Amino acid sequence: MIVETNSLAKFGILEIPDGWQIKKLKDILIEGRLGGNYENAEANNGIPVIKMGNLDRATIKIDKIQYLPENEIYNDEDVLVKGDLLFNTRNTLELVGKVAIWNNELPFAVYNSNLMRMKFDNAYVESTWFMNRAFNSYYGLRQLRGIATGTTSVAAIYGRDLESIKFLLPPLPEQKAIAQVLSTADAAIHTTEKLIAQKELRKKWLMQQLLTGKKRLKGFGGEWKENKLSDLFDRVTRKNTEGNTTVVTISAQRGFVRQTDFFNKNIASEITDNYFLVERGEFCYNKSYSNGYPWGATKRLNDFDKAVVTTLYICFGVKDEKKTNPQYFEQYFRANHLDKGLTKIAHEGGRAHGLLNVTPSDFFSLKVTVPSYEEQTAIAQLLQAADKEISLLKAKAEKLREQKKGLMQQLLTGKVRLKIK
C-alpha cells in the first residue's frame, strides 16, 4: 500500500502495521448530523437536552442538565440511542472537538445543534466505542486542534475540515479487542474516582460534625469555650525587609501558589519591601470571593518556609501552640466555618473589585467555639488521616489515567499488538 509520509507522521509511526489502513473520516462516516436548535429552557423537568457542556472526554455528565417543557416540539431524529457518538463542534479552543458516547445515562434525551451525532460504516469501524478512543487519542486530538478555528473563548470545527482528518484503523476484531482493553482501564479509573467522591463526602460530613461539636470523639467531654480570634491568634504584619522573592497568591482551591504559576506572570511590583512576609505554619485570609468561597478563603502556609503576600491579605499566627492547635484550625477554616461571622462584618456595598470590605479589627473580633487542646488535636489527626487517604486515591487515579494514555498511544498505533483468538 502506498501511503503519504505525512499521513504516517500524524501517528508517530514509520509504517502501517500489517492489516491496518489509514482512512479519512469522510470515507468511514455514513452520518454526521447536527441536533436541533433548541432554546435554553427554564424548566426543571420535561425533555432533557444534551448540550456541549454535558460532554466530558469519553463520558456524558448529567448533573447540570437542561430541559424542554414536556409540550415542546422536538425532532424524533434528535432522540439519542445507546452507543451514539456525539462530537462537540463549538466550544472554547481547548474543549472544541470533545467526543463522548451516549450510554443511556437517562431514559430519554435529545441533543442540540452544537453537537454532531456520528454513525460509521461497519465495514471499517467495529463500534463507536473504538472511534471514541481514536478521537480522544493524542493523534486524534492533535488533528482536531489543527482544524479548530476562532478565538480562545469561542472556537468551531466545520464539517468540511472535519471530514479530512485521518484515522489509523486496525482490522475489526482487533478494534474490538483494543476497545475492551481500554474499557477495562476506564472501569478502573471510574471505580477509583467514585471511591474518591465517597471519601470526600465522608470527610465533609466529618468536618461538619466534629468541628462544630455535633459529634464528639470517644473519650472527650466537657463544654467548648467561646473565644475571639484575637484571643487565639496574633496578627502578622512583618515586612519583607530581607528581600524574599517567593511572591505568592492565595487560591481558594489550591492554597498558597506562586504568582508566576497562578497567573503565568508576576503581577507584584518589582519592589516588595512593603509586602508581608509570612512564615511556614501561619495563616492568611484572602478577602476575594470565588467559587465555593463566597466570603473569601483562609489558608495555612505549608509548602514554603517563607512567602511574600500582598498587604490586602489579613495574616496571623497562633499565639500559643500548646493551647491552640494550628492543624485543627487549618481544617476549621477549610470548612468555611468563619462564613457565618464574616456575613455580619463584611460591610454592605463593600465588594469593590472582587474584594470584601473586611477590616482586620472586625476580622479578629470574630468568635469561635473550640474544644480543649487535646480534643482539637484528636479531631485534626482524624481529618488529616482522611485527607491522606483521599490524596493517595487521587494519586492512584492519576497513575491509572497515565497508564491508559500510554495504552492508547501503543494500541492505537499498532506499536503493541493484541493477540486475537
Closest CA relative to residue 155, chosen from 95, 99, 115, 111: 95
Instruction: Break the chain into its structural domains and give their ranges.
Output: 19-169, 171-211+375-413, 225-370
Quote the pLDDT of residue 217.
95
How far is Cα 169 from Cα 414, in angstroms, rounded to an integer? 9
List the grid coordinates of 346: 463584611
148-157: burial string, b at 16+ Cβ within 10 Å, e else: beeeeeebbb
Is 225-370 in CATH node 3.90.220.20? yes
- 5 falls in which pLDDT band (50, 70, 90)? very low
CATH architecture type of domain 171-211+375-413: Orthogonal Bundle (1.10)
Quote the pLDDT of residue 53.
86
- 13 falls in which pLDDT band (50, 70, 90)? low
CATH topology of domain 19-169: Adenine-n6-DNA-methyltransferase TaqI; Chain A, domain 2 (3.90.220)
Quote the pLDDT of residue 373.
97
365-397 residue pLDDT tens = 999 999 999 999 999 999 999 999 999 999 999
201-258 residue pLDDT tens = 999 999 999 999 999 999 998 999 999 999 999 999 999 999 898 999 998 888 899 8
Using a pLDDT cut of 70, give the percent of the chain over it: 91
51-94 residue pLDDT tens = 988 888 778 888 888 888 877 888 999 999 999 999 999 988 88
Quote the pLDDT of residue 34.
94
How far is Cα 132 from Cα 114, in angstroms, rounded to an integer? 18
How far is Cα 398 from Cα 193, in angstroms, rounded to an integer? 10
Predicted structure pTM score: 0.82
Quote the pLDDT of residue 65.
86
User: Are both 171-211+375-413 and 225-370 of the same fold?
Assistant: no
Quote the pLDDT of residue 346.
82
